[in-house]
Structure 1
Amino acid sequence: MTGFEPLITPLVAIALEVLKDSGKEEGESFFASLMKRDVGKNLQDVVFKAAGKYIESYTKRHGKLKVLGMKDPVELDEIFTTVQLLGEDEIQQFATIDDLEKLYREAGQRLLRHRSKERQDGIAVASQKQFLMVLGAPGAGKSTFLRKIGLESFKGKKGNFKHQAIPVLLELKKFTESKIDLKALIEAEFTTCGFPKPKEFTESALEKGKLLILLDGLDEVPSANVNSVIDAIQDFVDRYDKNRYIASCRTALYRYNFKRFSDVILSEFDDGQIQQFINNWFRSEEDKQAGTAARCWELLERPENKPAKELAHTPLLLTFLCLKYNKSQTFAMNRSTLYKSALRILLEEWAAEKRIMGQEIYEGLSVELEEVLLSEIACEGFAEDRLFIPQSQLVERIKKFLSSNLNAPKQLSGEQVLEAIAIQQGILVERVEDVYSFSHLTLQEYLTARHIYAHGQISQMVEKYLTDKRWREVFLLASGLMVDRGSDELLLEIHKAAKQYARHPKVKALLQWADQVTAGSSGNFKPAAKRAIAIASAIASTIIDIASDIDIVSSIGIVSAIIIADDIDSNIDGDSAINITSVIVSAIISISVSDIDREVDNLSDIARARGIDLERSITKVRSRTIDVNSASTTFMNSVSNDFGELEKSGIFVELDLFNFTNQLRNFQSALNESNITLIKKTSEQLINAYLEAFYLNQGLITYNREESLALYKYLYSVDLLLKCKQEAARLSPATWDAIEAELLLPPDN
């Protein structure tokens, strides 16, 4: 027993049908002559054996996946994830760079996705189209898709491929000669497996349209042979046009050469496909019992892992992430190390594993030198807030780099280097004709951080971009890159800048209050953590004026306050409170619906990471139909459940919530009675009781736009400082102790 018996019967049926007209012996078919000699049973046995060997050979060569140094291969059928394809009109849908920039800004996402009205199931499209060209970036899963189609065709009517055909997969990278004989290559596949009369069998199968010919990797054909290979394929398709053909090619190289083929592009994975892939990857009984897949997905969904999740939309890099997680049950303590590994996969490992011969003009440029070049391109575009770069500018930048670098090969042209980077590696992607961007924003951010660190531009980065959210990831990556000198300089520069923001009178007053109400308290928290939670409590009080109409910003505040209460209840450290508080202030100063929506997204991510169910509140915020009664009840339930824990925590020197608790009950009663006059009166009493309990006054919690912006910049800087500390690969304890001692204190305290 081979284990392939269920697959053999459909293949045998096709083969016997083909053999009916295979060859002629004195005017009779070879099949008929055999049957007259009473050897029909023997023929069936021969075909059955050959079919089993053919399926076994295909499965061994093409039915397993082993990439990126995997210890053991995995069955392709076990991990294959549903593929989605975009139509030809999606490939060139944007007219200008401005269109691309506008799309990205409006989407408010890190990943540039195709705006497709309809994504189609890949195998279904393959069943519909007789001639199909599958395009995609390096690592998008083109080869895997073609191999899977072959496996499905073996299953006959039980499979998802709706045509009875024998799959023949030809790897075009092996076409090293200028002249190729496709029929001879197909015949060789059947000869090896023992099909009777393979030459006649091949000719008959082609004439009757019984083959599914899979042409994998047009982009991998040596450049000197590309034109001759394309011509040979075109002639072959025209000669044997009853068969089905699926070819694959990297999008950057394809120039619409195949006249009869429908062009489709492999869509990047969406969240559902990422989760499906992870579930398929961790499918062993041990992993199922341990819940490995669920934990991996949960970790990837955390806000701090958004950049890593961006990589996961590419199947190759998702495979890399799964391997990383399988090894350490995390993605990386240091994200810069993770992204460096991902970049190296695209730069050299993937091409090496695919055994693709490098273009001759490209071999002189070392990986290290290319990283320097890409870092310059990345940083220049990022500093100018340009994600999309015209080809002419890229070529000029490459030429300038080559001419100014003594060790760069002088024989290379800018055009050739750009083409090699785009086609062989896919790090730069041609989004529309002659317009490029980095394949992943994460990689551009990593390369930007690398350039800034290498050129000693930390101080300038802090001065120009400290509170620019677009640069947040660059700061974090830079901190992780500073292995040689440590992150001391970066953290000290951020701390110095934050202290300047703290000189604003309103910010300074709030910091003085936080210090006064927490200094010397009994709680088992660091002083900075106590001050952080005090500030969070004060900011939360700015949004409990629920007597007025509860608008979008107030609703965000309510959601935020619930998260803060949950954090306090969980006895977390103070950095999370600062993170959430900066988001609240950011929402308060937002002036557009899109800005507010983004802040809601931030809060939703934070809540989800802490296991808090805020779906109902978030939905209400988005719909702009906040119900005063319902929203305030949500907030007050949180207050009554969690503020008791706050009192017990010992964070504040003195905290008396007795009067506040009584006023909370009065307000709840007014809400239940739907008495508007009473609601207004009791809400004012509730606010006063809250301020009294925390020794606050209206001046400390009332902010105009300018004051809110100053507070936001300060809190954002402190939050970023804490996150950079977490990312630091190396940091002097003395440096951190000095910073922490001054954290959230008024300047010149």
Structure 2
Amino acid sequence: MALFESAIGGVAVSVFDQAIKAGKYAAKEIRGAYSKTQHDQRVIAASKAYIENYLKWQCQIKIMPGLMKEPLDLEKIYTTVKLLDDESRRTFLGLEELEGEYRVRGKRGFGSGQAERLGGMEVANSKQFLMVLGGPGIGKSTFLRKIGLETLKKEGQIQRECIPVFLELKKFREEQIDIKQKIIQEFDKYRFPSAEALVDASLEQGKLLILFDGLDEVPSQTLNYAIEQIEDFVDRYDNNSFVASCRIAAYRSSFRRFTDVTIAEFDNGQIEQFIDRWFGSAEDEALGTAKKYRELLSQDNHEATKELAQTPLLLTFLCLVYDREQTLPSKRSTLYERALNIILHEWSAQKRIKRDPIYEGFHSELEKLLLAKIAYDSFKQDQLFFSKDYVTERITDFLSDTLDAPKYLNADEVLEAIEVQQGILVERATDAYSFSHLTLQEYLAALHVVETQMERELITEHLVDESWREVFLLVSGLMSNRSIQLFTAIDQQARAFIAPYPKLQKFVNWAAVNRVGASELSQRAAMLAIASAVSIGDTKAGGNIDGIPIHYLSKLDRARAIATDIVRASDPGDNTLSIISSANAVPIVRAIVDDIGIGDSISDHSAVGHFNNIHIDVRNAACSEHHLLNTHSLTMISAELSKHISIFPGRDAPFYALDEWVQQLKNIWIVALCLDQESVHFSYEEAEALQKYFYANELLIQCKEAAIRVSRSEWEALERRLLTMDDGAAE
């Protein structure tokens, strides 16, 4: 025993020690001419080789050879697996219920929602017969390898004295499958004396843990026979332990004695654990690489990318990208295209899975266009979940209308091949399908828009629908050199929103001309953001700003927020944002006074304390060079704000006095901005149009960032017109 442990470093081998002493295997006729000591030494050497090779071949992970230079140690990157029981997997919710549940959850991803998650190793330790299900790249094979490793450890999580035997079922190609002979071959490789006798003895004692990996990878012509052989073998040697894995879409009938569980997609905690382990080297720890990556992935603009990280295969891809570039690409269309190709092609190719014969005539580009059509149609109908009939009808229509599509293809067979081999379409409940990731559905929908040149229709119908935002960004990336056409069309539609409202046109024109210095986009946006904030005093707002409750949400408040986002996207100086922040105090103070008026408990100290220093940002800005407002205006605002705050009437004052105080605060800004009361008093319809106008312009700027290439001269010409009444007709 000491020899094993000193040679292999703490790996438990008591089970091999027991095999040496096992009845038949220890018999003299098995030893032959060897003495008992010589026989034991041969078994020890073979056992050592068996364990070392398990660690070498089953515990070294190289998922994407094209990107990974060296394999990684399973122990270093393994992330805790969580499982869903069979009841959680077999849901009978209807399409409307699934849609409703997803919308209520309010998070990207079609995962398991509130279903209870079970610890993977705890389940594996407690179940003698276990079937592990999951989609492609979810970590089934890795989980089985880890179970085997924990079995070998001296104090592992699998508290069962067994020898793990890892069998890749894709190698079960023979017409006559002999599982016992496959196991014997595994031991024979490492020169166990009389491997057959060892296997017989171990099976009789219940000392084997057989890991059947990849039931879905068994060639289709031998699948039914392989299932029969596995079940018969389990029945014959049922004092041993068995774990099998299978892609969930290929699992048509339950193994009789097995407990079915499904690997859950990664949650935030698992994603963070994986990243911490991936970037766990001393150098990365010193640089804080994992922390930087986690923070980057958690930013709102990477929400769609983070959804991909729920699948370990794609999280590995994302870690490789970050490891190489130390950032995430702003051109997400390229990133998502590679992620889609990994799912559609590279993963199956790497695992050497024989593709369905259906793909002999149904080439990959044709398949991608089909998926793009399904993605766009369902997205347009605001359906994230759809029936099998819905999918097969679209497959049939697509194939019948495609000149080079093979005539023999059957829609049901195509759907099954896509579902089983790639998992890009997933059956979430009985007869209810969705794409594996919302992010990939958005990418495919964008691909359909570009391939069919439907950019104009996209803008006309969906420009201000925020659920289409990611699609717009991806379309921009996919259009390559043509993206300026998208930007111009968005600009035209944005102008159409305010065209019926002369007051809004005057408002926009005011921001374009009423400043000192050059008319930069960020300055125009800042002026509009400040004026919008001031005008909110006339429009009851809602939500929660800095902990101050506000009870009515206005379109104008949303417009003000979007205009501020445009300023940030235009990379202004700190002074600009400081002045906007001070102007934002107007709606906050309006809310405080409204709350006092309806009897909410807000103290004088709380009210005044919240905005007591709002003039400081303006005062600081007045002390530095700035081209948004002239220095005289800034100085005047700072002095007037300081004076006005000092005469706050207090919460016990009559409401009319409080209301008048707020109006005077608003007037300070109106005078400084060279406006009048009427010019910042908007109707609901005008406020709604202004919000749409700002949103379209902000989206346009983000689309520019997502584009692969934009001509500098063309962009500068367009940028000069944004947030102005100049439509470029004279150019």
Query: What is the TM-score of this pair, normalised by structure 1?
Result: 0.85
Q: Give, in whole Å, the separation in 1 of the partners of 2:678 and 2:552.
A: 20
Equivalent residue, structure 2, for 1:621: none
**Contact 1:426/1:439 (CA < 8 Å) preserved in 2?**
yes
Alpha carbons of structure 1 residues 199 and 495: separation in structure 2 relative to 1, 3 Å? same
Q: Describe the SS at the equivalent of 2:173.
A: coil
Equivalent of 1:727 in 706, 714, 726: 706
Greater shift in the superposed pair: 729-738 or 325-334: 729-738
From 84, 91, 94, the counterpart of 1:93: 91
Q: Distance in 2 between matches of 1:423 and 1:634?
A: 61
Q: In structure 1, what is the equivalent of residue 296 of structure 2? A: 299
Q: Is the 8 A contact 2:249 2:426 kept in 1?
A: yes
Shift of the 283–112 alpha-carbon distance from structure 1 to 2, 3 Å rule, reads same
* 1:556 Cα deviation after fit: 12
2:72 to 66, 71, 74: 74
What is the CA-CA distance between 1:350 and the residue it aligns to?
0.4
2:491 is aligned to: 495
- 614, 620, 640: which one aligns with 1:639: 614
| Contact kept? 1:562, 1:635, Cα under 8 Å | no
- The residue type equivalent to 1:20 in the other structure is K
Write the distance in 2 (CA, Å) between the matches of 1:96 and 1:23. 58
Describe how 1:699-714 pairs up with structure 2 within 5 A.
Answer: 699-714=678-693
C-alpha displacement of 1:10: 5.7
* Aligned-residue CA RMSD (Å): 3.6
Relative to structure 1, is the Cα distance of residues 561 and 507 closer, same or farther in structure 2, using a 3 angstrom cutoff?
A: closer
Letter matched to residue 343 of structure 1: L
The answer to whether the Cα contact below 8 Å between 2:77 and 2:274 also exists between their aligned partners in 1 is yes
> Deviations along 1:572-624, whole A, 9 cap, x unmatched?
3399999xx9xx99xx9xxxxxxxxxxxxxxxxxxxxxxxxxxxxxxxxxxxx
8 A Cα contact 2:559 2:694, kept in partner: no
Looking at structure 2, the residues matched to 243 and 318 of structure 1 have their Cα atoms a distance apart, in angstroms, of 35
- Which secondary structure state, in structure 2, belongs to the residue aligned with residue 330 of structure 1? coil
Tell me what 2:629 maps to.
652
Change (3 A) 1:699 1:402: same
* Selected match of 1:528 from 501, 521, 524: 521
Q: Partners in 1 of 2:666 and 2:216 — Cα distance?
A: 68
Distance 1:110 1:418 in 2: 24
Provide closer, same or farther for how the CA distance between residues 435 and 705 of structure 1 changes in structure 2, counting only shifts above 3 A.
same
Number of equivalent positions: 696
SS at match of 2:13: helix
Give the Å deviation of 1:748: 6.6
In terms of mean alpha carbon deviation, does 535-544 or 210-219 score higher? 535-544
From 229, 234, 256, give the equivalent of 2:231. 234
Q: Given the superposition, is the C-alpha separation of residues 540 and 651 from structure 1 closer, same or farther in structure 2, using an over 3 Å criterion?
A: same
Please report how far the alpha carbon of residue 256 of structure 1 lies from its aligned counterpart in structure 2 after TM superposition: 3.4
Mapped to 2, the partners of 1:397 and 1:557 lie a distance apart of 42
- For 1:746 and 1:101, locate their aligned partners in 2 and report how far apart those are by CA, in whole Å: 42
1:356 matched to which residue of 2? 353
Identify the range of structure 1 (295-304 vs 167-176) with the bigger mean alpha-carbon deviation: 295-304
Please state how far the C-alpha of 1:708 moved relative to its aligned partner. Answer: 2.1
Indicate conservation of the 8 Å contact 1:656/1:693, yes or no. Answer: yes
* CA deviation map 1:666-702 (0-9, x unaligned): 6766789765558666544433323333334443444
| Inter-partner Cα distance in structure 2 for 1:296 and 1:660 | 42
Deviation at 1:30, TM superposition (A): 2.0
CA distance in 2: counterparts of 1:576 and 1:420, whole angstroms: 58
CA 1:5–1:403: 2 relative to 1, 3 Å: farther
Q: Distance in 1 between matches of 2:357 and 2:570?
A: 60
Q: What residue in structure 2 maps to residue 51 of structure 1?
A: 47
SS in 1 for 2:427: strand
Is residue 331 from structure 1 mapped to residue 328 from structure 2 by the alignment?
yes
CA–CA distance in 2 between the matches of 1:463 and 1:21? 78
Pair 1:573-2:572 in alignment:
yes
Q: Which residue in 1 is equivalent to 2:126?
A: 128
Alignment of 1:142 onto 2:140: yes
- Distance change >3 Å, CA 210–CA 110, structure 1 → 2: same
Which whole-Å CA distance do the structure 2 matches of 1:467 and 1:561 have between them? 16
Partner Cα separation in structure 1 for residue 723 and residue 565 of structure 2: 22
CA distance in 2, matches of 1:466, 1:124: 49
2:504 corresponds to: 507
Partner deviation per Cα, 1:352-374 (whole Å, 9 max, x = no partner): 00010111222221111111111
Alignment match, 1:403? 400
Secondary structure of 1:164's aligned partner: coil
C-alpha displacement at 1:382, in angstroms? 1.3
Structure 1 residue 435 displacement after superposition: 2.1
Question: Over residues 22-49 of structure 1, what are the superposed CA-to-partner deviations in whole Å (9 max), with x where a residue is unaligned?
Answer: 417xxxx5289989x9955545433332
1:167 partner SS: strand
Could you tell me how far 1:171 is from its partner in structure 2? 0.6
Say if 1:339 and 1:446, in contact at 8 Å, map to a contact too: yes
Identity level (%): 41
1:695 pairs with 674, 682, 692, which one? 674
Change (3 A) 1:638 1:400: farther
The equivalent residue for 2:21 is 20
Note the C-alpha offset of 1:274: 1.0
Tell whether the 8 Å contact from 1:536 to 1:564 is kept in structure 2 after alignment. Answer: yes
Mapping 1:281-292, distance limit 5 Å:
281-292=278-289
Q: Secondary structure at the match of 2:633?
A: coil
Cα deviation digits, residues 505-559 of structure 1 (max 9, x gap): 34223213322432xx24xx76221011111122233457999994245799999
Tell me how far apart the structure 2 counterparts of residues 637 and 202 of structure 1 sit (CA, whole Å): 82
| Contact kept in structure 2, 1:660 and 1:686, CA below 8 Å | no
Structure 1: stretches of 5+ with no match in the other structure: 589-624
Q: Which runs of 5+ in 2 are unaligned?
A: 542-547, 588-599
State whether residues 88 and 264 of structure 1, in contact with CA within 8 Å, keep that contact through their aligned partners in structure 2. yes
Contact 2:555 2:687 in 1 (8 A): no
Deviation at 1:142, TM superposition (A): 0.7
Per mean C-alpha deviation after superposition, the further-off stretch among 193-202 and 322-331 is 193-202
Decide whether the 8 Å contact of 1:561 with 1:635 is kept in 2.
no
Q: Does the aligned pair in 2 maintain the 1:141–1:316 contact within 8 Å? A: yes
> CA separation in 1, counterparts of 2:691 and 2:576?
13
- How do 1:123-272 and structure 2 match up within 5 A? 123-157=121-155, 159-272=156-269
| CA contact 1:655–1:694 (8 Å) conserved in 2 | no
Aligned-pair CA distance for 1:638: 6.9
- SS of the counterpart of 1:389? coil
Structure 2 CA distance for aligned equivalents of residues 205 and 556 of structure 1 = 73
Tell me, yes or no, if structure 1 residue 452 matches structure 2 residue 453: no
Moved more, 112-121 or 649-658: 649-658
Q: Which amino acid in 2 is paired with 1:489?
A: Q
TM superposition shift of 1:560: 11
Q: Distance in 2 between matches of 1:460 and 1:128?
A: 56
Question: In the TM superposition, what is the alpha-carbon distance from 1:289 to its structure 2 partner?
Answer: 2.0
Taking a change above 3 Å as real, the CA distance of residues 152 and 12 of structure 1, as seen in their structure-2 partners, is closer
